[in-house]
Amino acid sequence: MKNNTKQTLKIYWSHILKYKLSGLIILFSIVAGSSINVILPLYYKKFFDVLGAEQAKEVLVNKLVDVLIVILIINFIGWIAWRIATFALTHIFAQLVADIQNTCFRYLHKHSFSYFNNNFVGALVKRVGYFTNSFRDILDRVLWDFIPLIVKMLIIITVLFWSHFILGLIVVIWLVIFVIVNWLMARYKMKFDVKRAEAQTQATGFLSDTITNNSNLKLFCGYKKETKNFFNLNEKVRRLAEFSFNLDNVFEAIQSLLMIVLEVGIFYVGIKLWEKNMFTIGDFVLLQSYVLIIFMHIWSFGKMIRRTYQNLADAEEMTMIFNTPHEIQNVRNANTLEIKRGKIELQNVDFYYHKTRKVFDKFNLTIKSCQRVALIGPSGAGKTTVIKLLLRNFDVFGGKILIDSQDISKVTQESLWKNISLVPQDPILFHRSLMENIRYGKFDATDEEVIKASKLAHCHEFISDLPEKYDTFVGERGVKLSGGERQRVAIARAILRNAPILILDEATSSLDSHSESLIQDALDKLMEKKTVIVIAHRLSTIVKMDRIVFIDEGKIIEDGTHQELIEKENGHYRKLWELQAGGFIAD
């Protein structure tokens, strides 16, 4: 907890340091404005001392007017100082918040594929939001509450010590007790704030998960079950929040008691000094003004401390993300992958999931340049794992993967992905226009290039029938399109990218026979002069492959062309082919 809090503040401070000049201007202006607010009561003391003096009214009026002029000038200087502070802060505040959000975005998206698989989308979004809001609240509180409080207390203590030592000593002792009590109470409360934040994250993640799976919730009659579970999570949040609020009430009760003690005690001392002719009416005015300033700032001090700790608790979970090293990273001075032939080699690869489920043990596979290879086998055999390792979704535990003799673990991830086009089994699209989704394959592509790729993928036809054509937004994850339409958009994106290595992971699984026949020619053209890896369960789609590799339990069982494998007596591929009905494998 302590280390995370320090890390949170360190991140915030590193962003503030980017604006040193503006920060110094703001700090100086706030200190000046706060100082003037505390200096003014000295002139009000003088005003009332003059008012109570035994002199001719004409003389007193002139003196009072002189004091008022000074008060006006001081107020005007204070007004200028506060205006400089507010306008200077406005100049950088929005940019600071944007910088924080950008930092969160950059670091979060550098995490591995598995990291996102293990965390709820809603929970991650909530962590970024809380981290940014916490920065905004803490900065606002430091500038407008903590700094003015410190400046005013220092000046008040100095003035009281200078005028009446006993009064300064009383205020110092009281402030020390007050701050220690509030700090201890805030520290005690923070652990419950962290638990509340964790419970809120859990509830938010659960809500996000049920919204994503809203169709399952309905079709499997899970409404009552999920509602009950969500109510239980919210009840946990409610209990923690109620306990936290009650702690606030207890703290405020103690705080009020301390303030009553100070007000009565310090005025009692003032009366005793007045009794000895050591105190004037102006001194009472000054003392009352300072007591009000102390109470006005110190009353909120407890809340400021507790809310600051609460903000730090809210930021805790995002800080933990920052403290989590990126699982897959570029090595220092990583090279850029350059592909001239597209030869792929998996050499003695070891890999396992969760340290218990071993997938590959000294696995070897070589795919020649511009060779089209199909990977088949039962579920869990390791076909998809080959793709994930090639894309560096995970790093191998042993051995290495080479592309044109270049170790992919020693080249930049961006250059690796740039040279590979992937058409997944279940394409996920951005909630953006069709034009933007297809252009994601090549950011600088013209509209004409996008349309050409769409025609080759045979998605131009259904896009042309849409009211907004290529400007149609597809909904979150592309839910407004059918599975087949999403796959054709993904194929168009791959055609547009035109990378030297092509991966088709059940790329036609969501297409009907007619749609599949339409784009088969496009896929054949797309495969030309490329190294191609195809994962398919529908064997009719891989008959024309240069090689078919049968994988089972992380080992290559058979390897050859369709004709070679179909002629193999008691061969695994042959058995699957014989079980096939209408192009599908019987499960």
Give residue 54's pLDDT.
65
| CATH classification code of 425-498 | 3.40.50.300
| Residue 405, token pair as written in the block | 């003799």
Statement: 335-419+501-509+521-587 belongs to CATH 3.55.30.10:
no
- The rounded average pLDDT for each run of 10 residues, N- to C-terminus, in the chain (587 residues) is 72 84 88 84 71 66 79 87 87 83 82 71 75 83 85 82 79 81 75 78 78 69 80 85 79 76 74 72 71 73 74 78 76 84 87 76 87 84 84 85 87 86 80 84 84 83 83 75 78 85 76 69 76 81 83 85 82 78 41
Three-class DSSP category at 71: helix
> Contacts by 174-183 with C-beta closer than 8 Å and gap 24+?
174/258, 174/261, 174/262, 175/298, 177/258, 178/255, 178/258, 178/298, 178/301, 179/301, 181/254, 181/255, 181/258, 182/251, 182/255, 182/301, 182/302, 182/305, 182/306, 183/305
Give me the pLDDT at residue 581, please.
46
Where does residue 73 fall: left (phi above 0), alpha (psi -120 to 50 degrees), or beta otherwise?
Answer: alpha
Q: Domain ranges in the chain?
A: 2-323, 335-419+501-509+521-587, 425-498
Q: Is the pTM of this model over 0.85?
A: no
What DSSP line would sit under 334-370, residue for residue? PBPP--SS--EEEEEEEEEETTTEEEEEEEEEEE-TT
Q: Please, are residues 546 and 561 in contact by the beta-carbon 8 Å criterion?
A: yes
pLDDT (0 to 100) of residue 52: 65
Copy the structure tokens of residue 63: 């003196």
Contact predicate 7/319, CB 8 Å: yes
**pLDDT score, position 584:** 44
56 C-beta neighbours (distance < 10 Å), count: 8
Distance of CA 166 to the CA centre of its chain: 52
pLDDT of residue 55: 65
- Three-state DSSP class for residue 400: strand
Class of residue 333 by CB neighbours under 10 A (exposed 0-12, middle 13-18, buried 19+): exposed
Structure tokens at 566: 């179909």
Distance separating alpha carbons of residues 329 and 333, to the nearest angstrom:
12
353/355 Cα distance (integer angstroms): 5
pLDDT at 587: 37
| Residue that is written with structure tokens 């599975």 in the block | 483
Predicted pLDDT of residue 567 = 80
Q: Do domains 335-419+501-509+521-587 and 425-498 have the same CATH topology?
A: yes
pLDDT at res. 582 = 40
Question: What's CA 382's distance to the chain center, in Å?
Answer: 33
Q: What is the pLDDT of residue 56?
A: 65
* CATH for the stretch 2-323: 1.20.1560.10
Tens of pLDDT along 201-226? 788 778 877 876 776 776 567 778 78
